[in-house]
Amino acid sequence: MAVTGRSTLVVHGRLAMREGRLAAARDGRHGLQVMSFEQAAVRLAGGFARPIDDESLRAAIQAVLPMTPMGELESIKALPGMIDAAVDTLHKAWRAGIDLAARAADHPRLAAIARLEATVLDQLPPGMMRPVDIVAAATNRIGHAPAVLGPIEIVGLTELSPCWRPLLQALTTHIPVRWAAGPRTVPAWLEGTSVHVSPAPTEAPGIRAVSAATAYHEAIEAMRWVRSLLASGVVPSEIAVATASPADYDDHFLALRLDANIDLHFVHGVRTVTTREGQAAAALADIIVRGLSQSRLRRLAALCRDSGPFEALPEGWLRVLPTDAPLSTPSAWNRLLARLKPEDWPDGADHALALRAAVELLARGPDAAAEIAEAFLKSRALEIWRKALLAGPAASIDATLETLKQDDGLEACVSVAWMPASALAASPRRFVRLLGLNSSRWPRGIAEDRLIPDHIIPTPVLDPLPVNLADRRDFETILATTADTVVLSRSRRDSDGRLLGRSPLLAGRGDETYLRRNAVPVHAFSETDRLMARSQEFGAEPQAVSAQGCWRDWRRSEITAHDGLIRADHPLVLAILGRTQSASSLRRLLRNPLRRRSTINASI
C-alpha cells in the first residue's frame, strides 16, 4: 500500500465524502483527509471549536424564542414554522457573511433577528461558532495549515459561500490550494485569487428526452430503466435518478422500491413516519393533537404493545373494547371501564386500573407531550419524538413529524441512488435519469426569505446562489459530468389532470419520446409490473380469478358470497347477534349487509 503525506480533499455533501473516503481507502492513501470546507476550517481553528449543527440551533432557538422580544415578529413566533424559518434565516445570514448586529439599525426586522442571534449564541455551548468566528480562529492559526491540513484539493464544488472565501485566499499563502473544477463552471470570484484552477473537458453523454403521463408514471418508467440497466450488467453504483425537488417523488419511489426489491438508496434520507418507529410516534401525536378515541388508541396499541402501560395488559385485551363505540370523550371511557369485570379480560384478571391510567395520561394533551412520550415510547421512537419537540411546538407535533428524515440504512457505493440534483452534481455517475423537468419545477422559482424580505436584504445578497440559479447550474453540471447516458424526463399532467409545461432547460435537447401509461414495458421492474403488462398470465393467477368472479357476481341476480351470503346458523354470526345491539348496528344489519359483514370480519 502507498503511504502518502498529509493532504486534504474538500468535497461537498455527505455522499461525496463517503465516496471520497472509500476511494482513498481502496487506493491506500493513508494521509488523505476527506471533509467539507467547513470541517477543514474547524480543524485548523483547533481547540474545541465546532460548527453550529441544526439540532443544537433548533434547541437553542426553542429555549430562547419565548423570552426574546421579536418586534413585528412577536405575533408569529409561537407558530409551528417559526423555528424552521429562524434556522434557515440565521444559516443564510451566516453563510453570506452578513453582520446582523451591525445592520440592526437599518430595519426593525433586522434588529429582531439580531436580538435572536445574540440570545441563541449565549445559549449555545462555548465551542460552537458561527462561520465568521471559525474563519477568524482559523486565520489566527493559519501558520499551522501545512501540518494540520497539508495541500488542499477542492473537488465537486461549483460555488463556495462568501463566509469561507477570505480563509481560502489566506490559505494560498501557506499551502498549495487546487480547485479541481473538471468540466464544472468555475466561480468568477476565483479569478482574483491565488487558487490554482484545473479545468477538464466536458463529457459527451447520449441525451434522450421522454415524457410520461404523471409524476407516478415517471417514477415507474425510472424503475423500469434501472431494471434494464441492471439486467445488462451495469454496476448499481453507476446508476442515479435525480430531480430538483425529491419530496415530490419520495412516496412513489418508497413504494416502488419495496415492490421491485431493488436497493434504491435515498441519499437525502427517508421520512421518519415511513418507518415503524416513526409511525409509533405519529400515532401518539395523533392522540395528543386530536384527542383520544378508540381507533387512535387501537393504532397506538398495535405499534407500542411491548412498551409503556400497554406492556402490562394481556394479549388480546383490545377485545374488551366494543367495536361500534367511538369512545371519543373521557366520560365514555369512564363508563366503559366502570362496567368491565375480571371475566371480560382474556386472562380473567382485572386490568381496568392499568387501562384507566393509560387513558388518563393520554387525555392530558399537548401540555404533557414529553411526559406522555416517556411513558409510551422507547428507543428510536422516543428519539424521533424528542427531535420533533425541538423542531416545533407540541400542539402541532403531528405536522413536525412529517418533516423529519432519517438515513435509510443503504450505502451509495453499492446501490442505485435516488438523490437531489445538487448531490448528483457533486458526485457524478455514468447513467443518469433526471425527473420533473417541467416549468416552474426545474428550475424552481426564487422565493423570499420567510423572515427577511427582499426590500430589507435582497435575495441575491442573503443567498448568493438562489435556488433557480443553483438548479440551472446543477443541470448543466450533470450533463457535463455524466459519462454515458442522460435521460431527461417530464410529466405531461399533474395528479389533478392539468396539463404541465416543459422546462426551459429542455430547449434544444431534441424531440421527446411519448411514453404511454398502458404500454407494455420492455423491462418490467417487478413481478406486479410484469403481470399487469401480460393480461393472459395475470388471468391465471388466483387473485385475478377471484377478482373476475367478484366482477361477474355483481351482475348476477341471485345472491352470492360477494353479496354477503354465508351458511345458515354460522356460529360467529349467532354469537354476534346474541350481543346487545345498538340502533346503528341494527340499521346496518337490515339495510347494508356488506358493511355489517365487514364489522363481523373485524370481530374475528
Q: Which of the four pLDDT bands, split at 50, 70 and 90, describes residue 243?
A: very high
Pairing of the two strands 512-514 and 7-10: unpaired
- DSSP bridge partners of 319: none
Q: How confident is the model at residue 484, as a pLDDT? A: 92
Q: How confident is the model at residue 604, as a pLDDT? A: 45
Q: How confident is the model at residue 593, as a pLDDT? A: 58
Work out the burial of residue 497: count CB atoms within 10 Å of its CB; fewer than 13 is exposed, 13-18 middle, 19 or more buried: exposed
Q: Where are the alpha helices (DSSP H) in 97-199?
A: 108-123, 131-140, 145-148, 165-171
Tens digit of each residue's pLDDT (9 = 90 or more) over 336-384: 888 888 888 888 888 888 888 888 888 888 888 888 888 888 888 999 9
Q: Which of the four pLDDT bands, split at 50, 70 and 90, describes residue 233?
A: very high
Which of 16-30, 177-191, 235-249: highest mean pLDDT? Answer: 235-249
Q: How confident is the model at residue 321, as a pLDDT? A: 84
Q: How confident is the model at residue 2, as a pLDDT? A: 43
Phi, psi of 176 (to 5 degrees): -70, 130
- What is the CATH architecture assignment of 7-49+133-199? 3-Layer(aba) Sandwich (3.40)
Contact 255, 220 (CB under 8 A): no
Q: How confident is the model at residue 602, as a pLDDT? A: 46
DSSP label of 366:
G
Tens digit of each residue's pLDDT (9 = 90 or more) over 216-225: 999 999 999 9
| Topology (CATH level 3) of domain 206-269+408-527 | Rossmann fold (3.40.50)
Q: How confident is the model at residue 594, as a pLDDT? A: 58
- DSSP bridge partners of 490: 211
229 pLDDT higher than 90: yes
CB atoms within 10 A of CB 409: 10
Q: How confident is the model at residue 3, as a pLDDT? A: 41
Mean of all residue pLDDT scores within the chain: 86
Percent of the chain with pLDDT over 70: 97
Q: How confident is the model at residue 457, as a pLDDT? A: 86
157 pLDDT higher than 50: yes
Tens digit of each residue's pLDDT (9 = 90 or more) over 263-313: 999 999 999 998 899 999 999 999 998 888 888 988 998 888 777 788 888
Average pLDDT over residues 516-539: 82
Tens digit of each residue's pLDDT (9 = 90 or more) over 388-406: 888 778 888 888 888 888 8
Q: Which of the four pLDDT bands, split at 50, 70 and 90, describes residue 524?
A: confident
488 pLDDT higher than 80: yes
Q: Which of the four pLDDT bands, split at 50, 70 and 90, describes residue 1?
A: very low
Angstrom distance (rounded) from CA 377 to CA 385: 8
Q: How confident is the model at residue 309, as a pLDDT? A: 82
435 pLDDT higher than 90: yes
Residues near 381 by beta carbon (within 8 Å), at least 6 away in sequence: 277, 278, 280, 281, 304
Same fold, 7-49+133-199 and 206-269+408-527: yes
Amino acid at 467: V
Average pLDDT over residues 135-144: 93
Nearest C-alpha neighbor of 370 from the set 390, 351, 346: 390
Q: How confident is the model at residue 562, as a pLDDT? A: 73
Q: Which of the four pLDDT bands, split at 50, 70 and 90, describes residue 215?
A: very high
What is the helix (H) or strand (E) element at residue 153, kind and residue range? strand 152-155
pTM of the prediction?
Answer: 0.83
> Regarding predicted confidence, which is higher, 564 or 97?
97
All cell numbers assigned to 522: 420492455
Q: Which of the four pLDDT bands, split at 50, 70 and 90, describes residue 596?
A: low
Average pLDDT over residues 244-258: 91
Average pLDDT over residues 496-510: 89
Tens digit of each residue's pLDDT (9 = 90 or more) over 543-592: 878 888 888 887 787 777 777 777 788 887 788 777 777 777 777 777 76
Contact 429, 417 (CB under 8 A): yes
In the chain, where the domains are located:
7-49+133-199, 53-123, 206-269+408-527, 274-402, 542-603
Among 105-114, 464-473, 551-560, which is the least confidently predicted range? 551-560
**Strand segments (E) across 377-518:** 405-406, 416-420, 431-434, 485-491, 512-514
